[in-house]
Structure 1
Amino acid sequence: MNKPLVSIIIPTFNKAKLAIETFKSIANQSYTNWECIIVDDGSVAGDYKVLHTFVKSDKRFSLHKRPINKKKGANACRNYGLSLSKGHYIQFFDSDDVMLENCLEGRVEAIEPLNLDLVIFSMGIYCKGGFKNDDTSDVMVNTWETALSAFVGKKRLPWNLQRTLYRASLIKERIIFDENLNRFQDVEFNIRLLSQLKPKFKIFSQIDCVYRRANSSNPRTKSFYKDVFQSIPIFLESIHTEIPSDILEHNRDNLKIWLFNLIGLYANKSLQKGELNTVINVAKEKLYLSNKQKIILNLLFFSKTKLKGIKGVVRLNSYLRKNYIKLNA
């Protein structure tokens, strides 16, 4: 079988120890015709030196610094890496996840004979004794229209970038990542890709890579929570443009619940009220939030940022959720 070149593009920032584990999993791939383009987003000198030392051990790896004229962030790094790539296929990956040994081989063997634009595989999640697959049957869609609907549906289609191998001719010079978006990057990119390019694809249930959740050895960045709140309005503006109105209308209540869940999960004392106001103003226009729902979101934000740890706050949040959902009926 022909062995086309696969370009693996990885942004990295201050995670040298985890990144080396990721790079080793790539070096150990059964499929050997690949290039790995690592784009550093401004790591401290010590971390960068560790990356540089590793890269010298295998000429298929190359290390680049994000150009100074590019906005800081993983999306700018991905766009720069894409511009440098030479592969027939593109594999975006993160510097804290791991490829299983047959990951690239299985994906190339899946996409080649069917002449598909992209293939999507399942991703494991580390747990005691190994890893598990959290996918459910509802992710097995087969058209771009059903995929678009699933991305904003009740259970949310989990197509992160690590799962997906793209044909380079589908995306190069046709679509790039939004460099203003620091969170929801995978979902927003894939929604635009589906809407604009209408690709042929197939989903496979086989696990061929593993995701590492945030923990003490893989901490979130200091800006994580601010990034979430700053990205919500950008994401809502994008999907309002890209997703057909009938699909949006059908899933508007799901998106309202998604918004409630995000505020409940990520509101903390590092955030200012103005950041919530920006989110709510855009959500009111795009999701048709009622005034009562706006009040509930404000109360939820106050509960999460000011009342954490106080007796009865869990019951309060449960009460807010119940009434918020009731207003969708």
Structure 2
Amino acid sequence: MRFKKFLKVLIAVLMCFVLGNPFYAQAAITLTSNASGTYDGYYYELWKDSGNTTMTVDTGGRFSCQWSNINNALFRTGKKFSTAWNQLGTVKITYSATYNPNGNSYLCIYGWSRNPLVEFYIVESWGTWRPPGATSLGTVTIDGGTYDIYKTTRVNQPSIEGTTTFDQYWSVRTSKRTSGTVTVTDHFKAWAAKGLNLGTIDQITLCVEGYQSSGSANITQNTFSITNDSTGGGSTTPTTTKVECENMSLSGQYASKISSPFSGVALYANNDKAYYTQYFANSTHTFSLRGCSSNSNRAAVDLRIGGTKVGTFYFTGTTPTVQTLSNISHPTGNQTIELVVTSDNGTWDVYLDYLEIK
């Protein structure tokens, strides 16, 4: 049975090389000098003005980095936008990191706004110095943590629009952490309440920055979720969180990413799974999963929340469909969401596109 599964995966991989489709395995890329691009659905960038840097970009927005003898260096992966901040919906990032700064450094959510041009930071941890060395405009409590809000100005400094003068907006935690969920939009709202308005969001990233220091970091999770509510209007209708399966973490002997019949993941055998961490403010939600079977046999994938099975999605046939589990009760707070195969009998595989939570 296992040999047959192995053989199927091997054949699929060989087809990838021969035909370029449908299965692929992406190798991590390593950067040592200034570069940017897109990898596995995430924007990445290494920027420095001098010194020694290495950045290895992996799937799912994960990356590792090292720096020494630098003046200033930033390593980041995230998402690019061209949308007004209050039209994005609610943006959340769930992350985890091993962070080892030696000197001045930040572990943060980092990005840029245009019109007005603003560089912004949500600082989760730091090295020997807590930024930004200004007077706090007040505090806000978001995601269970307290943050100081600051505004600073950079004069004739590098930016996404060249060397110019621009403002910086800051939320800096009063205590350090290296994992958790950041509701980015709540920080945007808190800044706006202080008169610190953003414009069109250019990028939101998980970032490690070093300044005249050395260190290393390993980002082991970087999961974005965006709900479709209007953050400016305060929608009263249920919000929807959509998470692409290819942006989830994978485990199991055969689990892999696919590009056909959609960009997603394939689960081939028992204990193959895709998973990520989701923050829940409420204890009841409806879960919808788009996917299909590899053939005419019925495929099944369990939904686990916090380690507990709460239901099973079933897919029959190779045409992608959306299957729904309604009014599922579960714990609140940060919970691990798992899509896992447990009833494989060797006659089917399951392909998964995205999960929506309402």
TM-score past 0.5 threshold: no
Report the structure, 1 or 2, having the larger strand content.
Answer: 2
For the pair shown, which has the larger CA radius of gyration, 1 or 2? 2
> Normalising to structure 1: TM-score of the pair?
0.32
